[in-house]
């Protein structure tokens, strides 16, 4: 029995020495027993290495195991019943159940149980307590310890309650993985395999208390125990000497001291340490700079080394994507130019979760074989989402979010278009709850007439059938876990989830996506195994649906898929602690940024670092604190950075993937101190565009995007690459498409008259609003009215709904006034309020499938509509009473027909909100009003450009209507008005009376629009006008209209305006039927057609792309606009300067776009014609 420490720096050859030694001993003693114990993730590598070194290329009588596998090996030898081990997944589920049961006894934890990850924190703390031999009694004793405050005492108390409940639950039924070695300790002395065996412990940086306890037993049973210890051994160095945590090898010293203490306590002989200190170390025999790094890293004082730039590189990148792009480029160079194999190269990342996805993407793009050494999280897998959403459907009563999360997993149905149509219907109709999902759908919504309800009901029935079964199986307040679990398994079988996942896996495999393929291949088995575990642990327990979902989610949170390399020749990528690298020649260390390397070790668990320090002082040993872990990480950094034998490359970005500035880690500075010759390299200067087709394509794209520098000398390589690839038959088309894409310029065009006729016919039907939309942007009109693209309707009130409610309530009110024989001039306030209330209630009861009754919010909005409608009616009645006009009709349907060429026409229909009239002997004066819930104001400039035509078209139709009703009388336009439906607030000044406040509000509610400039007409609309009217937008001075303060036009101008608008509509109708679909949005000031356009994701409008630009309207005063309108009516030519084409177009290179594109294409074509030449025959380029 003896202990031998084998010490030496990283790369000194300790592992190879002891493996050769054990192989030699095993060959001499074929009947002997030899064990090599390594951390779990290193066992495979150890097996490979021993097989490689063994003369017979086998392990024979050498067992390579971890401590856990050693335990099972001994249990098997002794024919002991295999203890049922509760893994992390099972622990999570049990802890969630127990914590819920003990809720009343918990003071600190009770409010956090449903916080994502909290149960996992409890599980981690429980594992830590087991590892360090703590018991519930120890926790209870600590609550009265010195310096233990109220909060820490409460945490200890809660943890003691959960620990005790967990211990009681598992007693005599299960053991945890941490307890496995405790069981081994109890039976190890019965093992014949361990007695007189030779044991090697390799690859450990330290041991837990239970592992030390086992090692003490092994020292008594085994012939010899060899332990490798990593520490740079300088002459005279004593590993057992006292040290503190600042010493790089403090962990190694403490481990050595503890092992020798155990040997003494157990009567084992302590052999003289085997020390490997010869320089250079074996790994660095050809790399003196790396040997110097091993000797001096994190050691003080240190010596400097000059000339290490061949072996060590420091690289600065713009961002993580640029950093990874540089690395893939460099790997290609190492393999293609320098003869390395992919397996000779490794990546280590300080932030693997943050970098992993981009690394995978870049390596796949460059076809570099990669093994990402991490357990793949499966929380986002469709199967997990399917189960969770199915449980949410039961728990939340068939709500919208749960139903469509379930339907869109890809495992319920492959009819994605049917799901899309279903979602449109459900959102618009407000389908919620089992009753609505279970009943046949018979109604549809406005705009949903094209939906086939028969097909939709058949599809609804198809998806509801398995959910009905699940609902029936899980009915009741408390259902046994086994029943719910079996119901979920039945659901998966009914849906064919396993077969669908296999199909997904095959597709991923065919696409070279090995990680995804393995995840989808294994996930179904993992979930079924979890279900069985759930039933085994808690099968007879009756729980609510919510409790079941929470416990199952706790289990899902621990599920992961371990990845296995698909081949030996692959680049390995991992992190500092988990990944085990061997025989690596080149190491890339990514993300060496401040706060990432070394990592921030502030504890985020149940106990803070300060609380851990208190417990440590009170003699309770737990895992290291953040401070201790910080010192320990230096040791892990030392081990990792000394792994490569040829080259070490450290890189860092200047900004994160989120665009935040970041600084390099202090390690970069430490490296520069020890290697003064090292300089920071920029990624662009280090990349080789001729190393791969992908890199070449990227270089060519960058070259083509700088058209003014195409012929610069520094771009010669890109030109040669383009020429070479263009001459390659397989790549020529790709290069041509690339050049066209870079030289792309948007050109306005159309779909042609034939296609337009197919879409619209020869009679263009619609509203004036449609034509105004066309004036805003022809392409938006095409998408809306040509292709019929619509935004999905939501079963909730939006601004348009509020406008509809106001309109319908006002119309109903005015009709009710007439129906009840009331007069607007004599109706009382009480009668008005009652009729308003009745009108709003009538409208709300019928509006959009009773949406007003669907929520408390909507009920509140109904009250708001009533309040604002009443305020509006008060203002409108006040305006009526001030004039001689009488409301004649409400919601008047009108139409107008405008003939076009070739027998085509525009047929516009609309509805006038209110039409008022006043008659004398030979004339009938007409006033029309349009209610607006938004802040729309009459704008002559918008009318001039076709964006505000509605009131003029309505007035023209109203005049014709009146003349048809009153033969012999002339219909005269009195005014066209917008009324803003609002409930304004004004500032109350000291001394203001209620009457003055009301007058101020009425002034804010004055109509805006265009008034007939005749004083007689004006006084018929406001009999009391003296200076500025509070009814219409007119001001008088000395009995005359002040034009600058008024919005007026003479009767002749009203006629001109009508003719102008009709001509504008005729021109737009011709353009639409000619097939114009140009992306040409207008811009006036800060307002554009794009502001509220729903088609942003479709049109591709981008000011950075040549050819795109706004139609900017030239600022014009009212007098200028009237002059243009009057001139057109008089037959004179209009001013063509009214629209400025694309005045704010942005050209990214500040060159004439046409010349730039022409030059780009010319250079590209000349590049194609240029022969690569003998010196560039392709072999040197790629």
The per-residue pLDDT for range 93-116, each reduced to its tens digit, is 889 889 888 988 998 888 888 787
pLDDT at residue 514, as a whole number:
82
pLDDT at residue 850, as a whole number:
66
The four Cα atoms 42, 48, 50, 54 give a dihedral, to 10 degrees, of: 180
Per residue in 286-338, pLDDT (tens digit) is 999 999 999 999 888 889 999 888 999 999 999 998 999 999 989 999 998 99
State which residues form the domain around 815. Answer: 793-881
pLDDT at 1141 over 70: no
pLDDT at residue 1103, as a whole number:
86
pLDDT at residue 301, as a whole number:
86
- Provide the percentage of residues in the chain whose pLDDT is more than 90: 48
Spatial distance between the Cα atoms of 361 and 254, rounded to a whole number of angstroms: 43
pLDDT at 211 over 90: yes
pLDDT at residue 472, as a whole number:
94
Using CB atoms within 10 A of its CB, is residue 223 exposed (0-12), middle (13-18) or buried (19+)?
middle
Least confident of 41-45, 618-622, 716-720: 716-720
Q: What is the mean pLDDT of residues 1075-1089?
A: 91
Residue 802 resides in a domain: yes
Residue 811 resides in a domain: yes
Q: What is the mean pLDDT of residues 434-462?
A: 89
pLDDT at 856 over 80: no
169/187 same-domain check: no
pLDDT at 1179 over 60: no
Least confident of 709-713, 1013-1017, 1176-1180: 1176-1180
pLDDT at residue 1172, as a whole number:
38
Residue where a domain stops, chosen among 236, 255, 278? 278
pLDDT at residue 1130, as a whole number:
61
Spatial distance between the Cα atoms of 6 and 654, rounded to a whole number of angstroms: 42
Residue whose structure tokens are 């480029």:
329
Length of the chain in terms of residues written: 1182
398/526 same-domain check: yes
**Helix H segments across 980-1036?**
994-1004, 1015-1021
Residue where a domain stops, chosen among 666, 686, 706? 686
pLDDT at residue 603, as a whole number:
52
396/297 same-domain check: no
Greater pLDDT, 687 or 784: 784
pLDDT at 723 over 70: yes
Give the count of beta carbons closer than 10 Å to the beta carbon of residue 512.
12
pLDDT at residue 511, as a whole number:
84
Spatial distance between the Cα atoms of 56 and 50, rounded to a whole number of angstroms: 10
Residue 783 resides in a domain: no
- Across 364-378, 440-454, 1077-1091, the highest mean pLDDT is recorded for 1077-1091
pLDDT at residue 686, as a whole number:
66
Buried b (16+ CB within 10 A) or exposed e, 625-658: bbebbbbbbbbbbbbbbbbbbbbbbbbbbeebee
Q: What is the number of alpha carbons within 13 Å of residue 354 lying toward its C-beta?
A: 16
pLDDT at residue 970, as a whole number:
92
Residue where a domain stops, chosen among 278, 311, 341? 278
Using CB atoms within 10 A of its CB, is residue 59 exposed (0-12), middle (13-18) or buried (19+)?
middle
pLDDT at residue 994, as a whole number:
83
Spatial distance between the Cα atoms of 211 and 217, rounded to a whole number of angstroms: 10
Residue 188 resides in a domain: yes
pLDDT at 957 over 80: yes
Least confident of 187-201, 843-857, 886-900, 1129-1143: 1129-1143
pLDDT at residue 878, as a whole number:
92
735/648 same-domain check: no
* Closest to 647 measured CA to CA, from 1020, 240, 330: 330
28/133 same-domain check: no
pLDDT at residue 1026, as a whole number:
84
Residue 1023 resides in a domain: no
> How does DSSP classify residue 137?
H
Spatial distance between the Cα atoms of 1093 and 659, rounded to a whole number of angstroms: 29
SS (H, E, C) 315-383: EEECCHHHHHHHHHHHHHHHHHCCCCCHHHEEEEECCHHHHHHHHHHHHHHCCCCEEECCCEECCCCHH
Greater pLDDT, 479 or 235: 479
CB proximity list for 769: less than 8 A, separation 6 or greater: 950
pLDDT at 1136 over 50: no
CATH of the domain at 238: 3.40.50.300
Tokens linked to 29: 């003693």
pLDDT at 956 over 60: yes
The four Cα atoms 76, 82, 88, 89 give a dihedral, to 10 degrees, of: 120
Q: How confident is the model at residue 667 (pLDDT cuts 50, 70, 90)?
A: very high
132/187 same-domain check: no
C-alpha dihedral sign at 321, 326, 327, 328: positive
478/570 same-domain check: no
pLDDT at 1051 over 80: yes
Q: What is the domain count for the chain?
A: 6
Q: How confident is the model at residue 900 (pLDDT cuts 50, 70, 90)?
A: very high
Per residue in 360-394, pLDDT (tens digit) is 888 888 889 998 888 777 888 999 999 999 999 99
Q: What is the mean pLDDT of residues 231-243?
A: 80
- Across 57-71, 700-714, 1129-1143, the highest mean pLDDT is recorded for 57-71
Greater pLDDT, 18 or 238: 18
pLDDT at residue 1168, as a whole number:
47
Spatial distance between the Cα atoms of 278 and 821, rounded to a whole number of angstroms: 114
Least confident of 436-450, 685-699, 922-936, 1057-1071: 685-699
55/99 same-domain check: no
Least confident of 220-229, 751-760, 886-895, 1153-1162: 1153-1162
* Closest to 846 measured CA to CA, from 435, 426, 424, 443: 443
- Say if CB 436 and CB 427 are below 8 A apart: no
pTM of the prediction? 0.70
Give the count of beta carbons closer than 10 Å to the beta carbon of residue 960.
13
Greater pLDDT, 802 or 947: 947
pLDDT at residue 886, as a whole number:
92
Spatial distance between the Cα atoms of 730 and 727, rounded to a whole number of angstroms: 9
Spatial distance between the Cα atoms of 222 and 201, rounded to a whole number of angstroms: 12
Q: How confident is the model at residue 915 (pLDDT cuts 50, 70, 90)?
A: very high
- Say if CB 436 and CB 403 are below 8 A apart: no
Residue 344 resides in a domain: yes
Least confident of 252-266, 285-299, 990-1004: 990-1004
163/306 same-domain check: no
pLDDT at residue 780, as a whole number:
94
pLDDT at 924 over 70: yes
Per residue in 859-881, pLDDT (tens digit) is 778 888 889 989 999 999 999 99
433/463 same-domain check: yes
Tokens linked to 1142: 């694309």
93/167 same-domain check: yes
Q: What is the mean pLDDT of the chain?
A: 86
CB proximity list for 170: less than 8 A, separation 6 or greater: 86, 94, 176
Residue whose structure tokens are 């050109």:
747
Spatial distance between the Cα atoms of 497 and 517, rounded to a whole number of angstroms: 15
- Say if CB 809 and CB 839 are below 8 A apart: yes
Q: What is the mean pLDDT of residues 336-363?
A: 91
Residue 1111 resides in a domain: no
pLDDT at residue 852, as a whole number:
67
Strand pairing category for 198-201 and 586-590: unpaired
- Say if CB 257 and CB 36 are below 8 A apart: no
530/388 same-domain check: yes
Residue 52 resides in a domain: yes
Least confident of 169-178, 422-431, 653-662: 169-178
DSSP conformation letters of 903-932: G-EEEEEEEEEEEEEEE-SSEEEEEEEEEE
């Amino acid at each position: 029995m003896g202990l031998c420490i084998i010490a030496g720096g990283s790369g000194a050859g300790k592992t190879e020495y002891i493996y050769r030694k054990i192989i030699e001993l095993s060959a001499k003693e074929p009947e002997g027993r030899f064990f090599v114990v390594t951390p779990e993730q290193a066992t495979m590598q150890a097996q490979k290495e021993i097989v490689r070194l063994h003369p017979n290329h086998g392990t024979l009588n050498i067992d390579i195991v971890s401590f856990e596998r050693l335990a099972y090996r001994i249990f098997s030898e002794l024919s002991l019943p295999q203890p049922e081990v509760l893994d992390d997944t099972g622990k999570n589920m049990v802890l969630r159940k127990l914590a819920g049961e003990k809720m009343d006894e918990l003071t600190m934890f009770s409010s956090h149980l449903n916080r994502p990850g909290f149960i996992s924190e409890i599980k981690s703390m429980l594992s830590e307590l087991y590892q360090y031999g703590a018991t519930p009694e120890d926790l209870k004793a600590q609550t009265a310890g010195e310096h233990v405050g109220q909060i820490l005492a409460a945490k200890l108390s809660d943890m003691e309650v959960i620990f005790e409940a967990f211990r009681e639950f598992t007693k005599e039924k299960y053991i945890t993985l941490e307890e496995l070695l405790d069981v081994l300790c109890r039976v190890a002395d019965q093992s014949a395999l361990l007695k007189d065996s030779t044991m090697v412990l390799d690859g450990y940086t330290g041991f837990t208390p239970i592992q030390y306890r086992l090692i003490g037993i092994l020292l008594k049973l085994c012939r010899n125990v060899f332990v490798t210890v990593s520490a740079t051994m300088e002459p005279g160095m004593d590993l057992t000497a006292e040290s503190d945590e600042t010493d790089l090898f403090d962990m190694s010293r403490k481990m050595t001291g503890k092992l020798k203490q155990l040997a003494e306590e157990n009567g084992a002989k302590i052999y003289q340490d085997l020390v490997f200190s010869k320089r250079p170390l074996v790994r660095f025999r050809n790399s003196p700079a790396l040997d110097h790094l091993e000797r001096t890293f994190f050691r003080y004082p240190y010596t400097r080394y000059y000339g290490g730039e061949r072996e060590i590189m420091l690289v600065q990148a713009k961002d993580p994507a640029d950093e990874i792009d540089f690395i893939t480029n460099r790997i290609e160079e190492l393999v293609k130019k320098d003869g390395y194999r992919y397996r000779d190269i490794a990546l280590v990342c300080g932030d693997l979760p943050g970098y992993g996805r981009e690394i995978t993407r870049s390596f796949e793009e460059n076809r570099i074989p990669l093994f990402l050494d991490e357990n793949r999280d499966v929380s986002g897998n469709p199967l997990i989402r399917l189960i969770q959403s199915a449980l949410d459907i039961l728990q939340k009563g068939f709500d919208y979010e749960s139903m469509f999360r379930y339907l869109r997993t890809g495992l319920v149905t492959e009819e994605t278009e049917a799901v899309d149509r279903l979602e449109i219907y459900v959102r618009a109709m407000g389908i919620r709850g089992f009753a609505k999902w279970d009943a046949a759908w018979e109604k549809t919504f406005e705009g949903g007439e094209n939906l086939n309800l028969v097909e939709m009901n058949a599809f609804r029935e198809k998806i509801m059938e398995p959910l009905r079964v699940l609902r029936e199986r899980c009915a009741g307040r408390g259902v046994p876990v086994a029943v719910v679990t079996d119901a979920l398994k039945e659901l998966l079988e009914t849906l064919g989830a396993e077969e669908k996942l296999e199909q997904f896996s095959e597709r991923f495999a065919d696409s070279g996506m090995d990680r995804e393929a393995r995840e989808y291949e294994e996930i179904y088995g993992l979930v079924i195994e979890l279900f069985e575990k759930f039933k085994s642990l808690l099968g007879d327990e009756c729980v609510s649906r919510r409790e079941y979902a929470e416990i199952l989610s706790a289990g899902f949170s621990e599920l992961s898929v371990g990845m296995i390399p698909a081949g030996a020749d692959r680049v390995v990528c991992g992190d500092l602690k988990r990944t085990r690298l061997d025989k690596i020649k080149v190491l890339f260390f990514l993300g060496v940024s401040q706060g990432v390397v070394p990592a921030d070790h502030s504890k985020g668990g149940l106990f803070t670092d300060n609380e851990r320090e208190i417990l440590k002082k009170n003699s309770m040993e737990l895992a290291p604190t953040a401070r201790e872990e910080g010192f320990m990480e230096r040791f892990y950094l030392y081990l990792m950075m000394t792994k490569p034998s040829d080259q070490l490359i450290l890189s860092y970005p200047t900004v994160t993937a989120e665009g935040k500035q970041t600084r390099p880690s202090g390690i970069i500075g430490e490296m520069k101190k020890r290697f003064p010759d090292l300089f920071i390299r920029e990624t662009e200067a280090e990349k080789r565009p001729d190393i791969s087709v992908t890199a070449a394509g990227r270089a060519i794209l960058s070259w083509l995007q700088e058209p003014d520098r195409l012929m610069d000398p520094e771009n010669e390589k890109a030109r040669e690459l383009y020429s070479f690839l263009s001459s390659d038959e397989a790549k020529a088309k790709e290069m041509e498409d690339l050049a066209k894409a870079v030289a792309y310029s948007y050109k306005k065009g159309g779909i042609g008259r034939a296609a337009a006729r197919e879409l619209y016919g020869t009679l263009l039907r619609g509203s004036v609003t449609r034509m105004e939309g066309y004036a805003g942007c022809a392409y938006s009109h095409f998408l809306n009215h040509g292709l019929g693209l619509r935004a999905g309707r939501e079963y909730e009130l939006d601004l348009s709904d509020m406008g509809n409610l106001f309109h319908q309530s006002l119309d109903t009110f005015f009709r009710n006034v007439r129906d009840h024989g009331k007069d607007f001039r004599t109706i009382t306030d009480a009668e008005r309020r009652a009729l308003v209330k009745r009108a709003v209630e009538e409208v709300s009861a019928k509006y959009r499938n009773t949406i007003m009754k669907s929520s408390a919010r909507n009920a509140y909005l109904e009250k708001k509509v009533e309040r604002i409608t009443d305020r509006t009616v008060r203002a409108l009645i006040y305006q009526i009473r001030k004039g001689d006009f009488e409301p004649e009709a409400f919601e008047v349907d009108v139409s107008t027909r405008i003939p076009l060429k070739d027998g085509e026409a525009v047929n516009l229909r609309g509805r006038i909100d209110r039409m008022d009239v006043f008659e004398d002997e030979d004339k009938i004066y007409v006033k029309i009003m349009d209610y607006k819930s938004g802040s729309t104001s009459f704008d002559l400039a918008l009318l001039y450009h076709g964006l505000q035509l509605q009131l003029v078209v309505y007035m023209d139709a109203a005049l014709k209507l009146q003349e048809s009703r009153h033969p012999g009388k002339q219909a005269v336009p009195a005014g066209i008005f917008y009324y803003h439906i609002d409930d304004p607030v004004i500032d109350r000044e000291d001394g203001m009376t209620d009457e003055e406040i009301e007058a101020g509000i009425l002034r804010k509610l004055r109509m805006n629009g265009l008034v007939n400039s005749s004083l007689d007409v004006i006084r018929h609309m406001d009999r009391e006008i003296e200076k500025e009217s509070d009814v219409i937008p007119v001001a008088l001075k000395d009995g005359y209209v002040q034009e600058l303060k008024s919005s007026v036009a003479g009767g002749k101008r009203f006629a001109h305006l009508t003719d102008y608008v009709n001509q504008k509509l005729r021109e737009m109708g011709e353009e639409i039927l000619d097939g114009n679909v140009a992306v040409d949005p207008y811009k006036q000031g800060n307002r554009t057609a794009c502001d509220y356009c729903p088609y942003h994701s479709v049109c591709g409008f981008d000011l950075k792309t040549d050819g795109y630009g706004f139609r900017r309207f030239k600022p014009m005063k009212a007098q200028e606009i009237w002059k243009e309108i009057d001139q057109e009516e008089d037959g004179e030519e209009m001013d063509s300067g009214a629209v400025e084409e694309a005045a704010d177009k942005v050209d990214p290179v500040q060159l004439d776009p046409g010349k730039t594109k022409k030059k780009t294409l010319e250079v590209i074509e000349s590049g194609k014609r240029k022969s690569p030449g003998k010196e560039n025959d392709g072999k040197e380029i790629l």
